[in-house]
Amino acid sequence: MSLYCIGDLQGCLAPFERLLAKIDFSPSRDTLYLLGDLVNRGPDSLGVLRRLTALGDAAQCLLGNHDLHLLALSQGVRKPGRHDTIQPIVQASDAAQLLDWVRHRAMALHRHGWLMVHAGVLPQWSLAQTLALAFEVEQALRGPDLKGFLSTMYGNAPSQWSDSLQGPDRLRVIVNGLTRLRFCTPEGDMEFTSTESAGHAPEGYLPWFDVPGRATQGTPIAFGHWSTLATDTGGVIGLRHNALPLDTGCVWGGCLTAARLDETRAGAFELIQVKCEQAARPGA
């Protein structure tokens, strides 16, 4: 049995299939943990969802910001973007089943000693609190008023967590932390405009995993979302203050990366990569 965390697919089915072949993946033996942004920007988002749903419990998938955008688009809350490639999902004959599958995915997982999220964890959140807050969003996504939740999900404010937050503000901060976070202050005030690499933090901000005294410092974290992190190290991927970035820009012509988790040693892993033959359009 092997366990793998895999970075952002973003609709890149062909590299995903090559990665599965390279690791000799067997759904009866192995488990994949996909770290969100399953769809969008790449050439075959519909094919990716059909492939993942066919794998059943062998593919445990998180939701990223692009996956939430798909749900918002399907509910009429958002309009298609100029570079979106998710419209075929909404128009597919099996759209209802696929979208229902998406809304029932997790926002965070704790498996085999690893915390898994799409983007990040605010410095004040402990492991237990992160999982509890993720569950609040999962309940909203699976509840009877999906459209109502999605219609209040977007926005940059509040930019900082408080235990006193309630209603849409509370859920919005949780979503932003788990699916959009890159930079924040030591107090957890989030910044959403910069997509630069970690070495180009806006003044007063740090990469979330570099915040001193972060409550999850003792837990290894696997995350995606931040493809430009690989440029800091010339594409070399490793733990950064106990956080492992696995989005290596497949959709931009980079690699699709998997980390084979070592169950015998906490936080140990082996990297496997395949090149992506296709790059999204500049500015997508």
pLDDT in tens, 15-41: 999 999 999 999 999 999 999 999 999
What residues form DSSP beta bridges with 279? 252
Query: Do strands 114-116 and 109-111 pair parallel, antiparallel, or not at all (unpaired)?
Result: antiparallel
Phi, psi of 27 (to 5 degrees): -65, -20
Say what the pLDDT of residue 284 is: 41
Homologous superfamily of domain range 3-275: Metallo-dependent phosphatases (3.60.21.10)
Say what the pLDDT of residue 250 is: 93
CA-to-CA distance for 98 and 280, rounded, in angstroms?
Answer: 24
Say what the pLDDT of residue 263 is: 82
For the stretch 62-112, pLDDT in tens is: 999 999 999 999 999 999 989 999 999 999 999 999 999 999 999 999 999
- The radius of gyration computed from the CA coordinates of the chain, to the nearest angstrom, equals 17
Average pLDDT over residues 55-67: 98
Average pLDDT over residues 154-165: 97
Cα–Cα distance list, 205 to 5, 211, 258 (Å): 28, 9, 29
What are the structure tokens assigned to 100, written together?
């229902």
Amino acid at 25: F
- Look at residue 233 and tell me whether its pLDDT is greater than 80: no
Q: Return the minimum-mean-pLDDT range out of 41-50, 174-183, 216-225, 259-268.
A: 259-268
Mean pLDDT over all residues of the chain? Answer: 94
- Look at residue 151 and tell me whether its pLDDT is greater than 80: yes
Amino acid at 50: R
Against a cut of 0.75, is the pTM above it? yes
Say what the pLDDT of residue 206 is: 96
- Look at residue 131 and tell me whether its pLDDT is greater than 60: yes
For the stretch 188-224, pLDDT in tens is: 999 999 888 888 899 999 999 999 999 999 999 999 9
Domain ranges of the chain: 3-275
Contact yes or no for 44/12 (Cβ under 8 A): yes
Say what the pLDDT of residue 70 is: 98
Say what the pLDDT of residue 257 is: 96
In eight-state DSSP terms, residue 126 is -
Amino acid at 20: L
